[in-house]
Amino acid sequence: MTYICNLIILLFSILLISSKSYSDDKFPLLEGPYLGQKPPGSVPKIFAPGYVSTKHRDHSGFFSPDMKAFYFTRKNVYSEKWSLIRFKLENNRWHPSVMGPRVGRPILSPDGKIMHLGNKYMKRNGDGWSEVKSLGRMFEREDWGIMRLSASAKGTYVFDDYKSNDVLRISTIKNGERQPPRPLTPQINEGKWTAHPFIAPDESYLIWDSEKDDGYGGTDLYISFRQRDDSWGKAINLGATINTSGTEGGAYVSPDGNYLFFNRTSVQVNEERDVEGDIYWVDAQVIWDLKSRQGLIR
């Protein structure tokens, strides 16, 4: 019953917002790739306004590997409850549904078989998902606060920890065994609110958000490229086109490698309430340009 009520609220809110954006009263159908949205260029655009990005707090968007499902989280401004929402492509049309309450900061593994939920996960089960499970004692420490855990194709984990000075940690696989997590390099972990990492499926780069002295305002998006000696390079700010005086975070690159998605929240003007944020997307060429400047080949 709760899921049904949440779905009704979702659809009602979409109708309210979309009616302001379209001349007719009929709810337009979403058709084609990327929820039928016109792809952006080098300047970030709000993703699917009125559908995904609404008056609610919409964050943490990501696609399934086949690009036929798009997931994101939403904090309802009326109930103040977080939900995990899915748009699924069926017969070339996108259909929304509420999967349930948000757990952690969800993100899929590159093969789409695991949905990571902080220190928990769900496993793909046919067309659905298993119950929420624990990643095990190695990640269930009481002194750790894992929000987002991102996995590479090789099974490497990179995750944040808001309880321990906002550090990023990495856990690799060696000889088939999961290795204990260790902090990433100081040049990545310096700054405040270092969080929400995304590791490329091939481990060629890492993106996260942090507040540093060279930033543009609140938290900015930073990237580090894997060097030829297998070390991680310096933290590079993604620049003024991506980062603003507000807060940017929760970066994610679509499975086709074409677009960078991230959260953006404007500068807070009323300290008594949260300013809601939206999901933005931009051409991922910004990543390849920065990589080229580092003398690395894509």
Assigned domain for 199 exists: yes
Q: pTM of this prediction?
A: 0.87
Q: Which amino acid is at 119?
A: N
Compute the residue count for the chain.
298
142/91 Cα distance (integer angstroms)? 46
Q: What is the pLDDT of residue 295?
A: 81
Give tens-digit pLDDT for 208-242: 999 988 889 889 999 999 999 999 999 999 999 99
Assigned domain for 122 exists: yes
- Residue position matching structure tokens 């499926």: 201
Give tens-digit pLDDT for 26-43: 457 888 899 999 999 999
Pairing state of beta strands 133-134 and 128-129? unpaired
Query: Structural domain of residue 42, as residue ranges?
Result: 36-59+117-293
Query: Looking at residues 160-178, what average pLDDT do you find?
Result: 93
Residue 95 above 90 pLDDT?
A: yes
Domain total of the chain? 1
User: CA Rg, the chain, in Å?
Assistant: 19
Give tens-digit pLDDT for 273-284: 446 789 999 999
Assigned domain for 176 exists: yes
Query: Looking at residues 134-153, what average pLDDT do you find?
Result: 95
Assigned domain for 105 exists: no
